[in-house]
Amino acid sequence: MSIRRLTLPVLATSAVLLLWSGGLPAAYAADAARPATTLPAALAAPDATPSAVTVATPTGGDAPAKADAPALALSSYDPHSGQAVLSAHGPAAPQAAAGLHPGQLIDSPPSAAAPHGALVKVTGVQKTGDAVRVSTRPATLPELLGHTKAALQAPVSPAAFSVQPQVKGLQVTYDSTGLTSADGSISGGLGLSANATVPLPNGSSATLAGSVELDPTIDFSYQGGLGALAPQQARVGFQLGAHADWHVTAGLTATGTPLSIPIANLSASPVVMVGALPVVINLDLTLSADISADGTVSIDAKQSYDGSWGVHSDYAQGQGWTTSTDPSTSTVTPLALDLSGDASVKTGLVAQASVSLYDALGVKASIEPYLRTAVHGSVVLDGTGAAPVVNGTVSLYGGLDIDGALFARLAILGTTLAEQDLPFLTFEREWPIDSWSTGGAPTALPGASAGSSS
């Protein structure tokens, strides 16, 4: 079965997302067509990310803002009021504080005061002892980067992620190599493993055991327009390679809505150095296991998932936004099954992800590769390669569900907008893996992929 790329164009004239994209006067059109200066872009190592803010002065022309040597740290910041306090950070702090004035940009890496980073423009300065109080407004990438261009696609170090376990006994492993095996599965990156028993609403319990290996890559590009106006092009997104093996044991009775078992929340805020200027990208990922049934069934299932997928937000001047989700390849394979009952049972691994600039503008998506088993009777698949033992009828299906939205909270790209998510079309695909019935000749159980022909 072929997979198509999912896109949603968001017109520049939308009442929800109004972008500056009108016709340019002839004098400006020629300027806009000038080649943009290319700046080097590199991902800062987690242990090399600066703790001091970058104070930069916009040039008012094509050039990027001029960055001063970091000498001040962000002690506090209220994004609602725009009030911030800067404190000394290094021997050059007194001179840096004395030289701070309205019109300058404060570009902060992730910190306790601004966990997602901050990009603001100074509108007022008040010096109090060793600290400097400033009034600010949100700044934009065009103010910071000017008429330049930069592009980067790079893996995120596993050490950059903060992991908050949602099940007892979650184990986290880090492998900076991020190696990929010959079959495409991830053998490095960030690993999670769990073995937990969780209560179910009907008073019973479910046991979840397994491991997930993740290998994320961020994707960022920017090409400036005229001065502080909206850029000609911009992109923020990421790709995620994943391999998962999980084992679910439960007794279910018509769950209605899926039972969600949270596994972990992961977050990272890698810093892309565009020349001497930092740009903060925020990644958030929530993993959970979902189980649902439309009847009564006893389930003991082992399954695996191999695949990669990506989400992106793209902007082009005159066209507005396009959000896209690329399912790439997804393979769901049953490894062992012991089911009995009369129900359609769905067991999936859900990844809810978002990628954004300064937690202000980006795309979020939910993807669920799953195995669905329609059983009327019982089936035992022992995982040795032998034919399954079937009493009744059993059908196996692999599936992939994706939905998501563009979100925009601040005018980070020099756009005027309202705080409202713009959803893109839901992607739902299901494909048959195999089926058996009592008295029929069993067939071998092949793997099946969302990217294969059927």
Q: Give 108-137 pLDDT, tens digit per residue.
A: 999 899 999 999 999 999 987 778 899 999
The partner residues of 68 in beta bridges, in order of sequence, read none
The whole-number pLDDT of residue 87 equals 86
25 forms bridges with which residues in the sheet? none
So what's the pLDDT on residue 50?
Answer: 59
pLDDT at 118: 94
Low-confidence residues in the chain, pLDDT < 50: 1-31, 177-188, 416, 418, 440-448, 451-454
Cα atoms in the 13 Å half-sphere on the side-chain side of 227? 6
Are 3 and 367 spatial neighbours (Cβ–Cβ below 8 Å)? no
What is the pLDDT, as a whole number, of residue 176?
A: 52
Q: Interior CA angle at 210 toward 381 and 267, to 5°?
A: 145
Q: Could you state, in order of their start, the residue ranges of all structural domains in the chain?
A: 151-449
Per-residue 3-state assignment (H helix, E strand, C coil) for 180-222: ECCCCCECCEEEEEEEEEEECCCCCEEEEEEEEEEEEEEEEEE
Place of tokens 């439309």: 294
Give the list of residues 6+ apart from residue 256 with CB closer than 8 angstroms, or none: none
CB within 8 Å of 62: residues ≥ 6 apart: 34, 36, 37, 146, 147, 148, 224
The rounded distance, in Å, linking the Cα atoms of 95 and 72 is 10
pLDDT at 48: 57
Contact 55, 36 (CB under 8 A): no
* Cβ contacts of 170 within 8 Å, gap of 6 or more: 163, 192, 193, 194, 196, 263, 264
The pLDDT, as a whole number, for residue 99 is 83
Q: What pLDDT digit, counting tens, does each position of 355-366 carry?
A: 888 988 888 888
Torsion of CA 253, 254, 258, 261, to 10 degrees: -10
Q: What is the spatial distance between Cα 57 and Cα 167, in angstroms, rounded to a whole number?
A: 47
pLDDT tens across 291-339, in order?
989 999 999 999 999 988 888 888 888 887 778 777 777 888 999 999 9
Yes or no: say if 405 and 353 are a contact pair by the CB < 8 Å rule.
Answer: no
φ, ψ (nearest 5 deg) of residue 143: -65, -35
3-class DSSP state of 149: strand
Burial 12-41 (b: 16+ CB within 10 A, else e): beeeebebebeebeeeeeeeeeeebbebeb
CA dist., res. 133 & res. 84, Å (int): 6
Query: What is the model's pLDDT at position 364?
Result: 85
What is the rounded CA–CA span in Å between residue 347 and residue 301?
9
- Count Cβ atoms below 10 Å from residue 203 Cβ, excluding itself: 6
Query: Residue 47 has which token pair?
Result: 């242990």
The sign one gets for the Cα dihedral 152, 153, 157, 161 is positive
CA distance 18 to 39: 29
List Cα–Cα distances, 355 to 79, 286, 313, 408, 450, in angstroms: 20, 12, 9, 12, 24
Q: What is the pTM of this model?
A: 0.81
- 10 contact partners, CB below 8 Å, separation of at least 6: 16, 17, 320, 321, 322, 323, 406, 422
The whole-number pLDDT of residue 183 equals 34
Q: How far apart are CA 233 and CA 221, in angstroms?
A: 8
Helix (H) and strand (E) counts in the chain: 3, 27
